[in-house]
């Protein structure tokens, strides 16, 4: 019996995941009419293709309405995550993010925790509602493709000064240095992924 190995290598220009100006100006988000899949509906912690159908529907809805990205709520109406990103809010110099109970725990999310801790920025996991989101000083997303993307608007509501805030920019800058190997402090993170 012979075995064959088929390999396909595709190369294409990726660009910025959430748009050309997303990293510098921030994006516009819309709370989706689609909910984040419930922990009792199926295996929500697995990164499998079927789980992304929910995100595809939410993203399509947001794009059709002129937004850059969708935001999903959980079964109880608390903020969950974007279609492919974890979400963080900043209020009074402190960062808050959704606990891993209703999200897919991301590697980039872990980087945010590390960077915040190393810069003495308080960060905690706690459920929060859409009204807390609306009055945040800053909002940013984290994800492999999105990296650290600022959010300037949610549901047509301006967030903070409608520009990336001080903490968002710091996290974004340190994350960029981390993944480019420009900060020796995080070198072991890069080597452990090889």
Kindly list the catalytic residues.
Answer: 47
Using an 8 Å Cβ cutoff, are 150 and 27 in contact? Answer: yes
How wide is the angle at C-alpha 70 spanned by C-alphas 22 and 55, nearest 5°?
A: 115
Long-range pairs of 12-19 with CB within 8 A, sequence gap ≥ 24: 17/143, 17/145, 17/146, 17/147, 17/149, 18/68, 18/69, 18/141, 18/146, 18/149, 19/68
Phi, psi of 87 (to 5 degrees): -120, 145
How wide is the angle at C-alpha 171 spanned by C-alphas 167 and 174, nearest 5°?
A: 135
Question: Which residues are paired to 149 by β-bridges?
Answer: 141
């Amino acid at each position: 019996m012979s075995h064959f190995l088929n390999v396909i290598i595709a190369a294409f220009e990726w660009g910025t995941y959430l748009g050309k100006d997303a990293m510098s100006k921030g994006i516009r988000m819309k709370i989706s009419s689609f909910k984040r899949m419930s922990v009792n509906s199926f295996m929500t912690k697995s990164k499998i293709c079927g789980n992304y159908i929910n995100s595809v529907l939410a993203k399509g809805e947001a794009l059709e309405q002129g937004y850059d990205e969708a935001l999903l709520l959980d079964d109880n109406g608390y903020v969950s995550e974007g279609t492919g990103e974890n979400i963080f809010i900043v209020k009074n110099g402190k960062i808050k993010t959704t606990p891993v109970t209703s999200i897919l725990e991301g590697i980039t999310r872990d980087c945010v925790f590390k960077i915040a801790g190393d810069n003495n920025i308080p960060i905690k996991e706690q459920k929060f509602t859409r009204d807390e989101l609306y009055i945040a000083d800053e909002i940013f997303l984290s994800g492999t493709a999105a990296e650290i993307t600022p959010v300037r608007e949610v549901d047509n509501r301006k967030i903070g000064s409608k520009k990336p805030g001080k903490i968002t920019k710091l996290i974004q800058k340190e994350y960029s240095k981390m993944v480019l190997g420009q900060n020796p402090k995080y070198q072991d993170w890069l080597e452990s992924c090889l």
